[in-house]
Amino acid sequence: MRGSGGIFIVTVNNKQIFSKRDEGRFPSEREILDQLKSMA
Concatenated DSSP letters of 1-40: ----S---EEEETTEEEEEHHHHSSPPPHHHHHHHHHHH-
pTM as predicted: 0.73
Pairing of strands 15-19, 9-12: antiparallel
User: Domain tally for the chain?
Assistant: 1
CA distance 40 to 26: 23
Identify whether 2 is part of a domain. Answer: no
Residue 18 lies in a domain: yes
Examine the pLDDT at 29 and tell me if it is beyond 80: yes
pLDDT on residue 15? 93
For residue 21, tell me if it sits in a domain: yes
What is the residue range of 23's domain? Answer: 9-39
Q: Which tens digits make up the pLDDT trace of 1-28?
A: 566 667 899 999 999 999 999 999 999 9
What is the pLDDT, as a whole number, of residue 2?
A: 63
Under the banding of pLDDT at 50, 70 and 90, the label for residue 32 is: very high
In a domain, 1, yes or no: no
Task: Report yes or no on 4 lying in a domain.
Answer: no
Asked whether residue 3 is domain-assigned, the answer is: no
